[in-house]
Chain A
């Protein structure tokens, strides 16, 4: 019985947000339909999950786990709506209500969608390129003495420079702002991945290399079957550090000199003082980056299936 209280309260708090929005009139006239539809969809989705939890223990556990948080979220939405759209206590245009943000996101959906795709494309190109270069550099540094001698100082010095410092250089060298962005995201993800890959190889226990040698493996085979698989966990440590840096670099690079993308969109909306657009873009960004992290987490769990149950997964902050 107690298990059902919080999931029910979570649904009720969103229902409160919806009823509050419908029953209290707004200070100014607005198109509130998109917001109401959105909250309605959320309520339906949550109710559906509650119903499913009677049949699936896995869903039930997930529903119970998130219930208290969602209850608070619904309440927060209600309070935010009251303080902004319904009473005007929050000053406009800097602090719009949820209604305005959802409305503007709906009205401007084409531009927002286009910007999201641009950002995603720029991020993918830069991040994939940077990760591949990073893994390659890391393997060279971690495995070959000669490469370590020449490359490691370069990595150390160039890697710690914030990627955005390269903006003038990039704009001078590359023909388009898109390529400059790719270049910047690539170098900011290259550094952490290269560093952790190299360190990962260095920290593989010596006994694995010895075992491989006594089993008849030559250096090339050891590289492919011991050094590289052994450093994959470290590669992902580097990748998770690289994602944060890359998101930051992505948005900054789009804010200077780009013609599209979420960073550009925010800058453009700010120019017109349409802060609801700024917030809408921030929310889209949060969703986009969470999706990227979830995808990377999925790739990681597939590649590191041999670690499952070996590490303290409860403690890791995967989203």
Chain B
């Protein structure tokens, strides 16, 4: 057992618990095999280190392994080689402390908005203790008055906000976002980007966001990870740590955006790029 693991174990017992997780991806490879036995290398020897409380975006064209990487960190999948460490502990499965938001809101259709948001508390058996949180998170997601509606009765943006609230009610120390805004129209999307920043600052959790929207990555992140496909690997890491609130038309923003685009071209990804949404 490494020193880090011991330290993390100790800090779990001692109060106060760390507000956010660090994430360490060490030489991870993941190969998927189809039914004919042909392998597709989704991730090839990928390493990445995310600091506590950092907002990192994974960006790249389809098939670059960005979702695969996120699923490994979530514990929804495991690598064939290498390991993923969260606060120094190897990831062996899912945890409510690593919240995950899916591309499609993925709310349970048989539960009301309120039941969906309370799901995590009930699943962990702490519903009685944190019952009052539910109303608070509904309010925070701007869903007051929609508590008793079912997911198919609300809009895509509302569903995605509910999905975010559902993950946040567990007070995750890392929030893993798999293109949560990908399916939304641009107004709803900008609105939710603001919401996301606001929540990130409030909860101070580590955020890892998968996206194929360059503007979104530049607007939100501290750091941008550019990935390329076949085999999936990290081609570039860019710092984007200029002060918030950011202005989408400022010289700084445009310059950074152009730098990301340039890196994309250098990485030879222009033909599959999906940033023109």
Contacts and interface: CB of A to CB of B under 8 A. Distances in A.
Contacts of B74: 214
B76 A210 contact: yes
Contact of A226 (B76, B94, B108, B152): B108
A214 B150 contact: no
A170 interface: no
Interface stretch (A26-34, A61-69, A216-224): A216-224
Interface in A176-220: 207-208, 210-218
Contacts of A212: 108, 119, 123
Chain B: interface residue count, which band? Answer: 20 to 34
A315 B124 CA distance: 41
Interface string B101-112: 010101011111
Contact of B124 (A216, A305, A306): A216
Contacts of A229: 108, 110-111
Contacts, number: 74
Chain B at the A interface: mostly helix, strand, loop or mixed? loop
* Secondary structure class of chain A's binding surface, majority of residues: helix
A156 interface: no
B119 A217 contact: yes
A264 to B, nearest CB: 43
Interface of A: 207-208, 210-218, 221, 225-226, 229-230, 232, 305-307, 309-310
- Which residue, A210, A307, A310, has most C-beta atoms of chain B within 10 A? A210
Contact of B102 (A207, A213, A225, A306): A207
A310 B95 CA distance: 32
Contact of A215 (B76, B93, B120): B120
Nearest to A226: B108
Contact of A216 (B96, B104, B106, B153): B96
Nearest to B105: A211
20 contacts: A207-B102, A207-B106, A208-B106, A208-B108, A210-B100, A211-B108, A212-B119, A214-B94, A214-B95, A214-B99, A215-B167, A216-B94, A216-B170, A225-B108, A230-B108, A305-B150, A306-B150, A307-B109, A309-B153, A310-B109
A216 B95 contact: yes
A308 to B, nearest CB: 8
Interface of B: 74-76, 93-96, 98-100, 102, 104, 106, 108-112, 119-120, 122-124, 150, 152-153, 166-167, 170
Contacts of B106: 207-208, 211
B123 A217 contact: yes
Nearest to B74: A214
Nearest to A213: B94
Contact of A230 (B100, B110, B124): B110
B127 to A, nearest CB: 11
The 8 closest A-B CB pairs, nearest first, are A216-B96, A217-B123, A214-B100, A215-B120, A229-B110, A213-B94, A216-B124, A306-B150
A306 B153 CA distance: 9
A306 B119 contact: no
